[in-house]
């Protein structure tokens, strides 16, 4: 598994943990540093993603809700929602990651951590989000 995929998976787990345990980012990241074995590159990428999602969460959630027809964020599964948050952050704020890579990675993470319906759900919303974003250079 590649460094970035592993980082995305760790970031998903950290965001999910924050949602479920009502922890702040510092406590969550400290727990991951103490309990998760990962290389420095993986950990660094995961922490960048978590910090970025937390920093832009209101904007990201607004965008997800706007693009997810007939789905309120409160009705979305926490795993799917956090996969969407990570990918929306990458799509909107990470110029170093091509749109198609972000979407494909999100689908793969959804296959691993979500339900049977998660990959299609994530893909549909991310397609809507990405259609409003010009390709990064």
> Is-contact 122 110, C-beta < 8 A?
yes
| CA 32 to each of CA 8, 39, 42, 60, 78: distance values in angstroms, whole numbers, following the listed order | 13, 12, 12, 24, 19
Give burial (CB, 10 Å; 0-12/13-18/19+) of 113: middle
Ranges 15-19, 41-45, 90-94, 128-132, most confident = 90-94
Query: What's the confidence (pLDDT) of residue 137?
Result: 45
**Position 30 pLDDT exceeds 80:** no
**The CATH number of 3-131 is which of 2.60.40.2130, 2.40.50.180, 3.50.50.60, 1.10.940.10?**
1.10.940.10
| CA 81 to each of CA 25, 35, 120: distance values in angstroms, whole numbers, following the listed order | 17, 24, 13
Two structure tokens written together for 35: 């309990």
Look up tokens 């760790």; give the residue: 10
Instruction: Write out pLDDT tens, residues 48-98.
Output: 999 999 999 999 999 999 999 888 898 999 999 999 999 999 999 999 999
Q: Around Cβ 37, how many Cβ atoms within 10 Å?
A: 6
What pLDDT band is residue 134 in, cutting at 50, 70 and 90?
Answer: confident
Q: Around Cβ 74, how many Cβ atoms within 10 Å?
A: 7
The residue ranking higher by pLDDT, 67 or 21, is 67
């Amino acid at each position: 598994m590649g460094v970035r995929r592993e980082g995305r998976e760790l970031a998903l787990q950290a965001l999910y943990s924050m949602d479920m345990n009502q922890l702040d980012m510092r406590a969550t990241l400290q727990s991951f540093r103490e309990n998760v074995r990962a290389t420095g590159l993986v950990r660094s990428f995961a922490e960048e993603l978590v910090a970025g999602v937390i920093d832009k969460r209101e904007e990201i959630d607004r965008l997800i809700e706007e693009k997810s027809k007939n789905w309120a964020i409160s009705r979305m599964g926490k795993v799917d929602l956090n996969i969407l948050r990570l990918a929306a952050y990458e799509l909107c704020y990470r110029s170093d990651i091509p749109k198609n890579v972000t979407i494909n990675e999100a689908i793969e993470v959804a296959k691993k951590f979500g339900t049977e319906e998660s990959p299609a759900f994530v893909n549909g919303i991310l397609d809507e989000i990405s259609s409003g974003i010009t390709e990064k250079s």
